[in-house]
Amino acid sequence: MNKKQVKLIESKARKLMKLDGKIWDKYGWQSGNDVNESTYSQEISKVVKPQTLDIIYYYIFEDANFHTLCKGLVQIGAFKKPYGQDNEIYEEYRKLGGKTWQL
């Protein structure tokens, strides 16, 4: 991984975080307790297809407290590998200055 790849990952993560915010705004959700998981998964699946995201995004979103986004992406099968694999890539991402909650 290099700095250019880190910037690309950050850009994609930022777009997905903005999508998450738009979904929350659309339905007027104020907290995780308000979220209808089925509705959320339907909305996120309009943009993200199964088996298209590297697991690094899971780690980024969890660290940034985007738990609903993580759960929704898991529910639609968006990740290429299950959580718990490729931890090293996240560590490398962070060492190269990759952002999470600062996005």
Domain ranges across the chain: 3-30+41-95
Report whether pLDDT(96) > 80.
Answer: yes
The distance of Cα 23 from the centroid of its chain, to the nearest Å, equals 14
Report whether pLDDT(33) > 80.
Answer: yes
d(CA 21, CA 40): 11
- The pLDDT value recorded for residue 47 is 95
Mean pLDDT of 1-23: 95
Read off the pLDDT band of 27 (50, 70, 90): very high
Read off the pLDDT band of 76 (50, 70, 90): very high
What radius of gyration, in Å, describes the C-alpha atoms of the chain? 13
Report whether pLDDT(86) > 80.
Answer: no
Read off the pLDDT band of 67 (50, 70, 90): very high
